[in-house]
């Protein structure tokens, strides 16, 4: 049982153990990353969090070293999606060691979450999802374009009807895009909504047309996924 | 017609009668449980409710005794899902007889509702649903993981964009998770929403990606269910 | 071309004309019914509306008479769904002729809208929808039961977590059902929402489980409908 | 390589270049149209925007000339959907040259967005979507009718329950239609919602029935689309 087998393979007990350890470390580091954002933490907790961060980053650095060292084709791994994600998970920490102001630091918190993406490597069903997306690709692209066009049309329409009644909320078509997003996705925060009769009739018409356009892609993916599974079972039997 | 047949079987008239009686009792006890939570009830109503509760619990205790007594393999029933649910439906009452403070009592109100779960035993279509879930299991697990990762990413992103403009609502990534939940499920209470341009653009992007991830699993289950039904009808004919 | 043919059949030109006239009258009467509810109308408009109502009810009475008169089996028609709907469309008017107070009158306005249901008779695709519902009946019933159980559990849970923080909004489990309805349907008015950490975590869990349960039935109906259409086309070819 | 080939055909390199240029111009003009609506712009920016508009309209006029000139059957193109859209994209500008008041100008801003529709010509997947719509046409029409009837019934019902408690929000059935739209589409802005017990029970019932009716059409389109794709792949192989 060489190190290479432990790091690279997932079908052996030690290999699984290694993968599991990495996942646990990722989850721990994500949780600490979010706890760090909590306001008025005691200095003690702050120091614990920072130490745990250093420890985790250290372990991830070792992991990255092992992956590069045991990779059959080193450069290929370094330039692969997972290779880049692995670096993106540890690089921010080292970059912040060189004195950077707090604002920038906060941005880098976001990058730390990229580690979550690494979990995706451990999923097999992902492949089937990829196939389904490839099947329904054209429709999804089309619906995405139509949805964006509809969003723009909604924003322009509501701006025309409402911007005199509510010059603040619907100051321009660009401002109205926020209303269009919240409405066509049916989130409806309620911070902006039409008050004029014209605006409300327009909202009614847009929603009748728009709900489908926003809801159909999800149905397409579901249909494609179940079809891919069906084909697999048929070819399997 | 022995008692065993009445209790254990559902395909005879007395068996159905017995099951129906149990269902009615469950519904009555659930309704009384919720009426009890009403503020400023008259003492008379309170006493009626408590007496009805005692009566129902008594009947459920007898039912449980009969089920244990008539079960072909007693221990197996006691440790089965339904056996535990049956106990969970009567145990809280007896536990509260030993003086417990009101706060704890309120908690136990929740357990009384477990009785509703007992209704599931009487449904046959449940099996088909189970098959469908088994068919789409992998995808549903995958989508669940992706959805949770997305929730976390959304919370982190919106925290970065909004926590300076709204230090209360977006105090930390953990606080922002509430916004992420209300937004990605399209509930959109409107208690927290982005106000900055960056936060709104981020919300737009997240919603465009996220709606599908939240909506697809339902479509998958529906597709799987209709496929299971189709196979049954084909094998049936 | 006898009257019977005009009234009973829809495959002849006069028959279609007759059906179309009835539909137009129904739409006119529905619109007038809603205009009548407008506050501060001028007496002139009021009188016009009431006269138009009398005229329409008169025509519907004649229509009903013709339908009864030309029905091959009179009693069967009178007791059929459409027969009852036809009476329900004219009866309220005659009942209100006997002096009834305004409050009651308002209630009867609702019944006038039943006329809209009569439109359903003129739709053919309805049959296919019926078939689809029959196909997916069991699942829909099951999901309806589970949805209602989930609604109750959500209401009980949120009441336990929130009723101390918000004694007004979550006064009892019955009060909390309003929150459960608005949340699980993702309407999210924002008039009531959890504020405690426990309540928000509970909302998150409930939404993750509940969205599917509410969304699946629609997918089932859609899948069943497209399957029914498929079978028809296959049997057709 | 004649001009005709460049304008009319999309399968040659110059033809693609021409189409791409038009798309870019459309997007630019749409963006400028929305920027123009921004309040308090500096005169310099205003002049830049107006000049860019003149330039774009000029190019679109040339494009239209070329399309008419190179069309095999000129009149047919002029009266075709795309011909009308092309005119609708440039006409508003020339109409506004003749002194029209600002209010009217704002309206015409909307027509400028029609240019976005021209993008649809460049999409191929559109055809498949058209087929799917044709397949599910009857159901979609039926569901649209039922949805509108349900909207009206909801508005009438909620008006009856709420108009005394909230005479402002639910002044009439026509006013209540706004609530019905926001609720049945699950947008739920939260500007109007029932407060009476009757109104809330009614909302619950309506939502249980209504969600499916609003959600099913999207599922139908998705199912039809995936079926059309399936048939194409089968006929293709």
Whether C39 sits inside 8 A of D186 (CB atoms) is no
User: In the predicted model, is pLDDT for residue A207 greater than 60?
Assistant: yes
User: In the predicted model, is pLDDT for residue C180 greater than 80?
Assistant: yes
Would you state the torsion angle of the CA atoms of residues D139, D144, D147, D151, taken in this order, to the nearest 10 degrees? -170
- pLDDT at res. C123: 55
User: In the predicted model, is pLDDT for residue A102 greater than 50?
Assistant: no
- Do D130 and D182 meet the contact criterion of CB atoms below 8 Å apart? no
Whether D186 sits inside 8 A of B186 (CB atoms) is yes
What is the residue-averaged pLDDT of chain B? 78
- Identify all chain D residues contacting A141, using CB atoms and an 8 Å cutoff: 125
CA atoms within 13 A on the CB side of C28: 18
Q: Give every residue of chain D whose pLDDT is below 70, as ranges.
A: 1, 9-11, 96-125, 236-237
- Do B166 and B178 meet the contact criterion of CB atoms below 8 Å apart? no
- Exposed/middle/buried for C70, CB within 10 Å: 0-12, 13-18, 19+? middle
- Do B156 and B176 meet the contact criterion of CB atoms below 8 Å apart? yes
What is the residue-averaged pLDDT of chain D? 78
User: In the predicted model, is pLDDT for residue C102 greater than 50?
Assistant: no
Which residue of chain D has the CA closest to C108?
D160
Q: Which of A110, A113, A126 sits opposite B142 (nearest CB)?
A: A126
Q: Which of B149, B171, B172 sits opposite A116 (nearest CB)?
A: B149
CA distance C227 to B175: 45
- pLDDT at res. D98: 60
User: In the predicted model, is pLDDT for residue B101 greater than 70?
Assistant: no
CA atoms within 13 A on the CB side of C68: 13
CA distance between the termini of chain B: 36
Residues C127-139 have a mean pLDDT of 77
Residue with tokens 């092309």: D86
Whether D216 sits inside 8 A of C225 (CB atoms) is yes
Residues C9-13 have a mean pLDDT of 70
Residues C204-230 have a mean pLDDT of 79
- pLDDT at res. D115: 45
CA B75 from chain centre, in angstroms, equals: 27
Residues A66-86 have a mean pLDDT of 83
Question: Which of A223, A224, A230 has the highest number of chain C CBs within 10 A, making it the mutation to test binding with C?
Answer: A223
For chain B, the residues whose C-beta falls within 8 A of a C-beta of chain A are: 135-136, 138-139, 141-142, 145, 149, 152-153, 155-157, 159-160, 163, 167, 171-174, 183, 186-190, 193, 200, 203-204, 207-208, 211-212, 215-216, 218-220, 222-224, 227
User: In the predicted model, is pLDDT for residue B146 greater than 80?
Assistant: no
State how far residue C14 is from chain A, nearest Cα, in angstroms: 34
Q: What is the pLDDT of residues C136-145, one digit of tens each?
A: 777 777 777 7
Q: Which of D34, D177, D219 sits opposite A219 (nearest CB)?
A: D219
- Identify all chain B residues contacting A223, using CB atoms and an 8 Å cutoff: 219, 223
For chain A, the chains sharing at least 3 beta-carbon pairs closer than 8 angstroms are: B, C, D
The 8-class DSSP code of residue A119 comes to: G
* Residues with Cβ within 8 Å of residue A25, at least 6 apart in sequence: A56, A59, A60
- pLDDT at res. D123: 55
- Do C10 and C19 meet the contact criterion of CB atoms below 8 Å apart? yes
Which residue of chain D has the CA closest to C129?
D139
Residue with tokens 């010509």: D121
Whether B190 sits inside 8 A of D189 (CB atoms) is yes
- pLDDT at res. D99: 53
The 8-class DSSP code of residue A121 comes to: G
Question: Which of A182, A190, A207, A225 has the highest number of chain C CBs within 10 A, making it the mutation to test binding with C?
Answer: A190
Binning pLDDT at 50, 70 and 90, where does residue C82 land?
confident
Top pLDDT among A126 and A109 is at A126
For the whole model, what pTM was predicted? 0.83
Whether B119 sits inside 8 A of C145 (CB atoms) is yes
CA distance D61 to D94: 10
- pLDDT at res. A104: 41
CA distance A219 to A49: 43
For CA atoms C208, C210, C211, C217, give the dihedral sign: positive
Whether B190 sits inside 8 A of D186 (CB atoms) is no
Which residue of chain A has the CA closest to B149?
A116
User: In the predicted model, is pLDDT for residue B118 greater than 60?
Assistant: no
Q: What is the pLDDT of residues A166-178, one digit of tens each?
A: 998 898 888 899 9
State how far residue D187 is from chain B, nearest Cα, in angstroms: 8
Binning pLDDT at 50, 70 and 90, where does residue A123 land?
low
- pLDDT at res. C125: 67
Q: Which of C188, C219, C222 sits opposite A188 (nearest CB)?
A: C188
Greatest CA span in chain C, whole angstroms?
74
Whether A181 sits inside 8 A of B203 (CB atoms) is yes
Whether D190 sits inside 8 A of B189 (CB atoms) is yes
Greatest CA span in chain B, whole angstroms?
74
Buried b (16+ CB within 10 A) or exposed e, A102-114: eeeeeeebbebbb
Whether C211 sits inside 8 A of B185 (CB atoms) is yes
Residue with tokens 């048939």: D231
Q: What is the pLDDT of residues B9-31, one digit of tens each?
A: 666 778 778 777 877 787 788 78
For chain C, the chains sharing at least 3 beta-carbon pairs closer than 8 angstroms are: A, B, D
Binning pLDDT at 50, 70 and 90, where does residue A40 land?
confident
- pLDDT at res. D67: 85
Q: What is the pLDDT of residues B40-80, one digit of tens each?
A: 888 998 888 888 888 888 888 898 898 888 888 888 888 87
Q: Which of D200, D218, D219 sits opposite C178 (nearest CB)?
A: D200
Q: State how far the alpha carbon of B58 is from the alpha carbons of B47, B61, B81, in Å.
A: 16, 5, 21
In 3-state terms, what secondary structure has residue A125? helix
């Amino acid at each position: 049982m060489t190190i290479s087998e432990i790091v690279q393979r997932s079908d052996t007990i030690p290999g699984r153990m290694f993968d599991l350890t990495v996942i646990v470390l990722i989850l721990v580091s994500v949780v600490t990353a979010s706890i760090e954002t909590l306001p008025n933490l005691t200095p003690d907790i702050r120091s614990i969090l920072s130490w745990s961060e250093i420890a985790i980053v250290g372990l991830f650095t070792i992991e990255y070293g092992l992956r590069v060292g045991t990779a059959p084709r080193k450069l290929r791994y370094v330039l692969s999606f997972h290779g880049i994600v692995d670096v993106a998970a540890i690089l921010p920490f080292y970059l912040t060691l060189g004195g950077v102001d707090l604002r920038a630091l906060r941005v880098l918190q976001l990058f730390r979450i990229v580690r979550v993406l690494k979990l995706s490597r451990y999923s097999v069903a992902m492949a089937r999802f990829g196939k389904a997306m490839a099947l329904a690709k054209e429709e999804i692209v089309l619906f995405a374009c139509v949805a964006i066009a509809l969003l723009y049309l909604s924003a322009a329409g509501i701006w025309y009807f409402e911007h005199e009644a509510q010059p603040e909320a619907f100051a321009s078509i660009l401002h109205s895009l926020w209303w269009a997003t919240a409405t066509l996705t049916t989130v409806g925060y309620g911070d902006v909504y039409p008050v004029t009769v014209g605006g409300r009739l327009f909202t009614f018409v847009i929603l009748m047309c728009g709900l489908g356009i926003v809801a159909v892609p999800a149905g397409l993916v579901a249909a494609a996924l179940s079809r891919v599974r069906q084909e697999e079972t048929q070819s399997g039997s």
